Chains A and B, each alone.
Chain A
Amino acid sequence: MSLWLTLAVNSIALGGLLFLLSAGFSLIFGLMRIPNLMHGSFFMLGAYLGVTFLDKGVTFWLAALLSGVAMALIGSLIERFLLKRLSGQELPQVLLTLGFSFIIADLCLMIWTGDPWQPATPAELRGALQVAGLFFPIYRLAIVAVAVVVAIALWLLVDWTRLGAKIRAGVDDPPIARMVGIPVSRLFTLVFALGAGLAAFGGVVGAPYLSVYPGMDAEMLPLALIVVILGGTGSLVGAFVGSFIIGFLFNFGQAMFPDLAYVILFLPMVLVLVLRPQGLFGKVVS
Chain B
Amino acid sequence: MSGRAPRLAAIGVAIVLLLTLPAWVANSYYVNVASQILLWAVAALALNVLVGYGGLVSLGHAALFGTAGYTAALLLQAGHGHFVADFAAIGFTLLVSAIFAILSLRSTGITFLMITLALGQILWGIAYRWASLTQGDNGVNVTTRPHLFGISLATADAFYYAVLAAFALAVISMAIFVNSPFGASLRGTRDQPRRMNALGYNVWLIRFLAFLFSGFWTGVAGLLFVYYNQFISPQIMALQTSAEILLMVISGGTATLLGPIAGAAIVVIMKNVASAYIERWNLVLGVIFVLIISFMPDGLIPGTTRIWRYGWQALRARIASARSVRRAGAS
Contact = CB atoms under 8 A, between A and B. Distances in A.
B114 interface: yes
Contacts of A91: 51, 57, 250
Contact of B126 (A102, A263, A277): A263
A8 interface: no
Given A259-B132, A261-B129, A273-B106, A233 B285 contact: no
Contact of B293 (A99, A228, A229): A99
A193 interface: no
Contacts of A104: 286
A277 B204 CA distance: 15
Given A90-B109, A106-B280, A222-B121, A99 B114 contact: no
A103 B290 contact: yes
Contact of B117 (A99, A222, A262): A222
Contacts of B246: 95
Contacts of B131: 259
Contacts, number: 122
Nearest to B127: A262
B283 A107 contact: yes
Nearest to B280: A106
A218 B290 contact: no
B301 to A, nearest CB: 16
Given A229-B114, A273-B103, A96 B293 contact: yes
Contacts of A85: 294
Contacts of A229: 114-115, 118
B243 interface: yes
A142 interface: no
Contact of A102 (B113, B283, B292): B283
A98 B243 contact: yes
B293 A92 contact: yes
Contact of A99 (B107, B118, B289): B289
Interface string B227-267: 00000000000111001001100100000000000000000
Nearest to A35: B110
B133 A259 contact: yes
Contact of B286 (A103, A228, A274): A103
Interface string A254-286: 000011111101100110011001000000000
Interface residues of B, number: 44
Interface in B262-314: 280, 282-283, 285-290, 292-294, 297
Given A106-B286, A225-B114, A262 B125 contact: yes
Interface residues of A, number: 46
Nearest to B298: A92
Contacts of A262: 122, 125-126, 129
Contacts of B118: 222, 225-226, 229, 266, 269
Contacts of A96: 289-290, 293-294
Interface string B89-112: 000000000000001001101110
B130 interface: yes
Contact of A270 (B103, B110, B113, B293): B103
Interface centre among B107, B250, B283 (most CB of A within 10 A): B283
B290 A100 contact: yes
A274 B103 contact: yes
A228 B297 CA distance: 28
Nearest to A90: B110
Contacts of A102: 240, 243, 282-283, 285-286, 289
Given A89-B297, A95-B250, A102-B240, A222 B122 contact: yes
Interface in A67-84: 82
A156 interface: no
Nearest to B126: A262
Interface string A227-240: 01100010000000
Contacts of B119: 266
Nearest to B131: A259
A139 B250 CA distance: 46
A160 to B, nearest CB: 29
Contacts of B110: 29, 33, 35, 90, 94
B293 A103 contact: no
Nearest to B250: A95
Contacts of A266: 118-119, 122
A5 interface: no
Most buried by A among B122, B240, B250: B122
Interface string A163-198: 000000000000000000000000000000000000
A99 B290 contact: yes
A106 B282 contact: yes
Contacts of A265: 122, 125
Most B CB atoms within 10 A — which of A105, A106, A265? A106
Nearest to A267: B122
20 contacts: A91-B51, A91-B57, A96-B294, A98-B239, A100-B286, A101-B286, A102-B283, A102-B286, A103-B290, A106-B283, A222-B117, A228-B114, A229-B114, A260-B126, A262-B125, A263-B126, A265-B122, A266-B118, A273-B106, A277-B107
Given A221-B121, A269-B118, A273-B115, 12 more contacts: A29-B114, A33-B110, A90-B113, A94-B57, A98-B243, A102-B243, A102-B283, A106-B280, A218-B121, A222-B125, A225-B121, A261-B129
Interface of A: 29, 33, 35, 37, 82, 85-86, 89-92, 94-96, 98-107, 110, 218, 221-222, 225-226, 228-229, 233, 258-263, 265-266, 269-270, 273-274, 277
